């Protein structure tokens, strides 16, 4: 079986090597697959998932475009699912649910049976590229959407903050990054199509996809935690409401709390594309509208114009 897995991995790599290749933000290699620019190193995982992921009806997928608040969503879903938010005091939210395409990207397939049930997975895969098994199964998806300008600024800082190898080029100037982002040349880009696909699915199949917005979550986290809990089939009981469980989950999962915990401040969390990612890099400032501190008016207008055009008549607004 091991040999078969190795052979399949090699075949995925060959298939990937024939896909269009471009350098995205901070020069990261991206491959165009089914209309989206995937980090090259992750695509083996996406292809493996198409063959090997067998979701159960109770599985929950936490889907996001990168830098839209995945870490927050993972912390909240974990706390809601376990009703044990205190476990987050010693566990990085990224460790609460595996990044499923990363998990499958190596030459050996992981054993998902070791995960506690109901299983939770994080993913950045666009809806149309999710394995058919996920789209067709009764498992549920929670999508967290973030306003593109803030997503871009967050992406820029995240990639810039990675520990780059010696030979890596110098950080890219912001204007260049904006141009690339507008062309969809960032991890899992373009952001607009990514969000639209999940939006449309949430409209036609609200039992399948719960569509949340980062900005709404910031404005009213308790209401959104209740929505998540109901969607996950774990609504809060009258007793839990009385005991302040919702407020406790919101407090423990807040940016202020999580970003100050030792487990989220120190160390390096594995590698991506040979670049090491610091534990702390998932927490920058967690603000709505931070783009104002970074983008020029011209850059913001360019992004807004694309947003208006792409989301026209979709019903999705920020």
Catalytic positions, please? 124
Quick one: 70 or 105, whose CB is closer to ligand A3P?
70
User: With contact defined as beta carbons under 8 Å apart, do 267 and 278 qualify?
Assistant: yes
Rounded Cα–Cα distance for residues 202 and 198 (Å): 6
Give the footprint of ligand A3P on this chain (CB under 6 A).
64, 66-72, 150, 154, 157, 253-255, 258, 282-286, 290
Give 157: exposed, middle or buried? Use CB within 10 Å, 0-12, 13-18, 19+: middle
Quick one: 70 or 97, whose CB is closer to ligand A3P?
70
Rounded Cα–Cα distance for residues 285 and 283 (Å): 6
Quick one: 51 or 292, whose CB is closer to ligand A3P?
292
Produce one character per residue of 190-201: b if its CB has 16 or more CB atoms within 10 Å, e if not.
Answer: bbbbbbbbbbbb
Can you read off the two tokens belonging to residue 67? 């830098």
Which residues pair with residue 36 across a beta bridge?
33
CB of 7 to ligand A3P, least distance (A): 34
Quick one: 157 or 183, whose CB is closer to ligand A3P?
157
Rounded Cα–Cα distance for residues 248 and 228 (Å): 15
Quick one: 159 or 182, whose CB is closer to ligand A3P?
159
CB of 265 to ligand A3P, least distance (A): 13
CB of 285 to ligand A3P, least distance (A): 4
CB of 209 to ligand A3P, least distance (A): 18
Per DSSP, the residues of 222-259 read HHHHHHHHHHTT-PPPHHHHHTTHHHHHHHHTSHHHHH
CB of 251 to ligand A3P, least distance (A): 11
**Residue where the block lists tokens 């694309």:** 306
Rounded Cα–Cα distance for residues 139 and 132 (Å): 12
DSSP state of 136: H
């Amino acid at each position: 079986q091991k040999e078969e897995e190795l052979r399949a991995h090699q075949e995925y790599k060959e298939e990937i090597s024939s896909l269009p290749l471009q350098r995205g933000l901070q020069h990261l290699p991206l491959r165009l697959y089914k209309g989206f620019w995937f980090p090259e190193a992750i695509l083996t995982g996406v292809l493996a998932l198409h063959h090997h992921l067998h979701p159960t009806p109770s599985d929950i997928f936490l889907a996001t475009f990168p830098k839209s608040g995945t870490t927050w969503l993972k912390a909240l879903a974990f706390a809601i699912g376990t009703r044990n938010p205190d476990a987050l005091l010693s566990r990085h939210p990224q460790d609460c649910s595996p990044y499923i395409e990363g998990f499958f990207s190596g030459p050996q397939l992981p054993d998902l049976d070791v995960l506690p049930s109901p299983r939770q997975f994080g993913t950045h895969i666009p809806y149309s590229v999710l394995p058919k098994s996920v789209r067709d199964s009764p498992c549920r998806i929670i999508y967290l959407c973030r306003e593109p300008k803030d997503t871009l600024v967050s992406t820029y800082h995240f990639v810039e903050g990675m520990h780059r190898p010696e030979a890596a080029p110098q950080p890219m100037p912001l204007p260049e990054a904006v141009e690339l982002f507008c062309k969809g040349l960032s991890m899992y880009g373009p952001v607009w199509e990514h969000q639209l696909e999940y939006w449309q699915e949430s409209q036609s199949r609200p039992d399948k996809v719960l569509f949340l917005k980062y900005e709404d979550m910031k404005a009213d986290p308790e209401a959104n935690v209740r929505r998540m809990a109901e969607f996950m089939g774990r609504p809060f009981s009258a007793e839990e409401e009385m005991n302040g469980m919702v407020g406790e989950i919101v407090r423990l999962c807040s940016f202020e709390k999580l970003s100050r915990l030792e487990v989220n401040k120190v160390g390096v969390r594995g590698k991506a594309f040979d670049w090491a990612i610091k534990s702390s890099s998932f927490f920058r400032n967690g603000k709505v509208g931070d783009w104002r501190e970074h983008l020029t008016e011209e850059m913001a207008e360019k992004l807004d114009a694309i947003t208006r055009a792409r989301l026209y008549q979709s019903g999705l607004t920020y």
